[in-house]
Structure 1
Amino acid sequence: MPDHKNPLVSVIIGASCAGTATVFSILDVLASVGRDWEALHGTPPSPATFTVSYITANGAPYWDINGRRITPDATLDEHPKPDLVIVPELLFDPSLPLPEDLVALSRWIATAYEDGATVASVCSGALLLAEAGLLDGNEATTHWAFADMLARDYPLVKVRRERILVPAGEGHRVITAGGASAWEDLLLYLIGRFAGAETARRIAKLHLIEPHGDGQMTYASLTAGRQTEDRIVCEAQLWAADNYACPMPVTEMASRSGLSERSFLRRFRRATGQSPADYVQSLRVEEAKQLLETTDMSVEDISAEVGYSEPSSFRSAFRKRVGVSASVYRRKWRSVSAVGTV
C-alpha cells in the first residue's frame, strides 16, 4: 500500500460548464474511501486517504446546464496547495478553440503541477491539461468526440482515442480518462494507487463499478463532427455519406472535386485529419454498426451491404476501428436493447 501519513488534498476544478453528475460522483466516491465499507461491516473507519473539494475560479454559486443550482466549496486562490487535481468533463464546442475562461483554469493547473500535484482529467477535461502543456510528448486520451480537437489544436500530444485510461509523464503524474463515465476507471486507479488495491476492490464492490475493459471505441460514433470550413471537402463528405458503398469512392470524390487526386488527398487530410480512404472506411464501419445493432443480417451480408467485396477485409477493418469483432459488438449492444423489453 502507498505510504502517506496525511490525507491527499484533492480538488476537482470546474466552471459552470462542468458535468455535474461527474463532479458529484467523484466527490461522493472519494469521500467514501475508508468509511462506507467499514461502516457496512461494523469496523472502525480507516484514516482518510483523500480530502476532496470542488473549486472554481470565483467560487460563486451557478446554475448548471440542467437547471441545478451548484455551490462550489471555494475559489482557486482560497484553496490550499493540492496534492491531486481532477478536471471533470466540460461542455463546450469541440469545433471551436478552447473557451478563454477554461484557458485561465489551465494556467492554474500548470502551476499546481509544477508545485508537485498529480493531475488527472475525465472526458473533455483533457483539453485543459493539453492547454497547460502537460500532455506535450505524452500519450493521452479523451472522449471520442473531442479526440479530433485534441489532435488538431495540440499536435504534440499522442492521442490514443481508443484508450479509457492513460497514465503518463514522469512518475505518472498526469492521467487522462476517456468519456464521462470513465471517472469510474480513473477513481479505481487513483484509489488503488494511493490507498491500495484491496481498498480499490472494496470501493468497486460498494458502488458497483468496474473498469471499461473493451476501451471506448465500442461506444464511439466514428463519423462525429463533419468538417464544414472547406467547401470542397464538405461536399465530398456529403457525397460519401450517401455513396460510401460504391466500388471506388475516393477516385469519384476526387473527380467530383475538380482537383487532381493528389491535391484532393492533401486537402482532405489537411481539413479532416484523415485520408479520404480512412474516412470512407469509417463511414462503412459506422453503417455496419447500425446494422449489427438493429437487424439480424449476417456479418457476411452486412459486409457486402456496406461495400466490402471480401468479408475478411470487413472483419479486419471493423476490429481495427471498433476494438472488438462484429459478433462481439452485436452481442454487447443487443443486450442493451433488450433491457427495455424485460
Structure 2
Amino acid sequence: MLCLNSHWRVRAAVFLATLLALGGAARAERAERARPVVIDVCGKPVTYTAVPQRAVTHDSNITEMFLFLGLGPKLVGYSGIAGDKELSPAYRAALAGVPDLSRKSMNLESMLGVRADFVFAGWNYGFRAGGVTPELLARYAIDSYVLRESCIHVQKRERVSLVDGVADMRNLARIFDVEERNADRLGAIETRVHALAERMRGLEKRPRVFVFDSGQRLPVTVGRFGMPHAMIEAAGGENIFSDIESNWPTGNWEDVIARNPEWIIIVDYGQPDAQGKIDFLLGKRELSQVSAIRNRRFFVMRYAQATPGPGNVDMAEALARKLHPERFVGAQK
C-alpha cells in the first residue's frame, strides 16, 4: 500500500509539474505576443502586436530572405515566383509543399483563402497602387512589411546599401521573434561586407558597369537606388546610370554608347535567358564599339541575387574579383 501511494504521489507530482510548465510557457507566449514591436517601414513607424503565424511572401528574393531566417514553417503561401525567377537550390526544399498562390501578381483572395496574417512584399515587388497594398491588407487585419529597397517609390532616400537586405532580415527577425537564432548568421554577412570595403579601399580606378535587366527597344537597367548599384559600388565599380534616382528604371541605348561601360551585368530571368541577352547585345550593331562588347566582359546574376536578398554579398565579392583581380592575389575563393 505504501508503495502504491508513493507511486501515485510521484505521478501527481509529475502531472502538476507538467501543468505548471505548460502554464508558464503559455504565459510566456502570451506575454511575448502582447509585447509590441515597432519597426520603421518606409519612414513610418509600424507596430506589430503579435508574432505572425501564417505568412505569405511575394517574389523569389523576398522568399529567400524569409527562408534564410528559418521561417519556412510560418509560410502558408507564396507568389511571384515564375519558372524564370527560380529560387537558389538551397531554398527549394523548404518551399516544397507550400501553396503557390499566384505566378505573377499578388492575389488578395488567395491570401485570404490561406488565412494569412502577414505579407512580406515590396513596391513593384507585389505591392502596387490600385492593387494590393499594405493599407488594403490592414483592412483585413493582415500585417505587412515592405522591402527597404522598394521604399524609393514612396519616400526619399539618400542611398542604397549592400546591407539593406540585412536590415530587412533583422526587422523580420524582430517581428517573428527569431533575433537570437539568426544573430550570428546576419552578423557574418555584415562582417563580409566590411571586409570587402576594406579590400576595395583606396582604388584609383573604378570600371564603368552597365546593368542589363531586360528590354530591346529601351533597356531596363539599375539606377542609384537599386541593389546592383550597391553591389557595383562595393565591388569597386561605377554604375553608368547612377544619375537616375530610381531602383529599376528604363535607360536608353544612346547613353549606354556614350558612357561606354567596361563590364555588363546580365540579370538572368525572363526570356531570353542570360545567353540570349548576351547574344542580343553582341548583335546590336550600334553597341559594337562599347568596351564591354568588344572585350566580351559579361557578369551574370540570377534575379534573386540582383535584388535584395541573402546572396547579395556573394555576388558583390564575385564581381569584385572580376573588376579588381589584383586585390585578390593570394586570397582564398
Relative to the length of structure 2, the TM-score reads 0.35
Higher Cα Rg, which structure:
2
Task: Work out which structure has the larger RCO, using CA pairs closer than 8 Å and 6 or more positions apart in sequence.
Answer: 2
